Homo-oligomer: A and B are copies of this chain.
Amino acid sequence: MSFCKRLQTIFSNVCKNYRIFALCPCLTVYFKIEDVALTQESRLTLTGLAKLAGVSTSTASRALRDNPLIKKETRERIQALAKEHSFSINHAASQLRTQKTNVVAVILNLTDHTEQSINDPFLLKMVSALNLALNKAGYEMLLSNSMMADSDWASYFISSRRADGLIIVGQGKSEDNVNDVVTAKAPLVVWGDPKLNKNYPIVGSDNQYGGYLATKQLIESGCKKVLFLGDTEHTEMAQRYLGYQQALKEAELHFDPSLTIDIDITSKAAYEKVNQEILNRGLFFDGIFAVSDMVAFGALKALKERYVSIPGDVSVVGFDDINMAELFHPALTTVRQDTDLAAQLMVEQLICQFEQKPAQSKVLEVELIKRRSTPESY
């Protein structure tokens, strides 16, 4: 054992709180262990950083949060030091103290009885828009299907302080879960039908007007028998259905209930149903208003397989305007929902609640995007 080693050992035994720093015997420097804790394996903490900077933890904390109470010079010095050591605040500790998580849970509220899944492009578009909007506002997004939280969202996310608030995408057909969240007084925004007069803020498109626009476009293209392809019980779809009826009425067209085809809102269901209907009843329609682009795609596939010309024989209008709508052949005429704006509004309304301000429901304008699945206007 070298002299240095031995010295170190003896030294350690003498006083466990000190450690030899430089091992040259004539120049032995020692520090209290806490002073060199930084060189240990354990991660750097605020206390450590403060010690490095020669200030108190309070000062370090304030400096990092750019609190003007601290002299600018000091602030910058500490921030630089933090960057140098790639130190970052322990989020859990901070959370515990401030009772703020800076996390928002996004829950995709899919009812069991539909096949519409987390794979649905529109939902995913919504999710990515939300992600962006949340990040912009300084929040992280915790994405959840309903598996973890099962049903008691309030206690899972809020009471357990996993998130500061909830964004629920889709009202689905049941709203028990949502009501529980409201009862628990958890900050909450729902994507759904904003015209519903609920005691929680709902952001959504003007679905009825969208349905009206879509149907009107078909009628103006010369369609006399417009199919409604969708789920009339689904909250938002029901609104679109109203718009459909409104447009028919306005054009003084007879409302034929046999033109309402109730399906699960997936491409697959649409494809199968349209196929089957044509098989049974022939081409008894000349236009389709599909409640979503995905449903429209399914219908189009069926039509194309039967060599029905689009928009020659049948015109089709969708809803959502997902990216694929433009890429499809023929490019799909559809009603655009502005997901970016929607996400932004939802985040705004949620933040209102964080700040104890009242939140409101918001209706988003929709826009008809004319493409090739309806005839060119003349």
Q: Which residues of A contact B (CB under 8 A)?
A: 43, 86-93, 95-96, 101, 103, 117-119, 121, 124-125, 127-128, 131-132, 135-136, 140-145, 147-148, 152, 154-156, 159-162, 184, 267, 271, 297-298, 300-301, 304-305, 323-324, 327-329
The answer to whether B327 touches A301 (Cβ under 8 A) is yes
Query: Which residue of chain B is the closest to A180 with respect to CB atoms?
Result: B86
Distance from A20 Cβ to chain B, minimum over Cβ atoms (Å): 27
Q: State in angstroms the CA–CA spacing of A101 and B95 once bound together.
A: 12
Q: Which residues from B are CB-within-8-Å of A127? A: 124, 143
Q: Is the CB of B96 within 8 A of A297?
A: no
A121-B121, A125-B119, A143-B141 as given contacts; A155 in contact with B327, CB under 8 Å: no
User: Are B147 and A135 closer than 8 Å at their CB atoms?
Assistant: yes
Contacts of A298 in B (CB 8 A): 327
A168 CB, nearest partner CB in chain B, Å:
16
Q: Is the beta-carbon distance between A87 and B159 smaller than 8 angstroms?
A: yes
- Measured between beta carbons, the chain B residues less than 8 angstroms from A152 are 86
Closest CB-CB distance, A3 to chain B, in whole Å? 34
Known contacts A131-B145, A148-B140; decide if A160 and B89 are in contact (CB<8 Å). yes
Provide the residues of chain B in CB contact with A327, threshold 8 Å: 267, 271, 297-298, 301
Contact A162 to B91, CB < 8 A, known contacts A86-B155, A327-B301: yes
Known: A90-B96, A93-B96, A96-B90. A132 touches B147 (CB 8 A): yes
- Closest-by-CB residue of B relative to A139 is B148
B119 touches A155 (CB 8 A): no
Q: Which of B43, B144, B159 contacts A88 (CB 8 A)?
A: B159
With both chains docked as a complex, state the minimum distance between the C-beta of A135 and any C-beta of chain B, in angstroms.
5
Closest Cβ of chain B: how far from A280's Cβ, in Å? 23
Q: Assuming A95-B95, A131-B145, what are 18 further A-B pairs, CB within 8 angstroms?
A: A86-B154, A86-B159, A88-B156, A88-B160, A91-B160, A92-B101, A118-B131, A121-B324, A131-B143, A132-B145, A135-B148, A140-B142, A267-B323, A297-B324, A298-B327, A305-B329, A324-B324, A329-B329
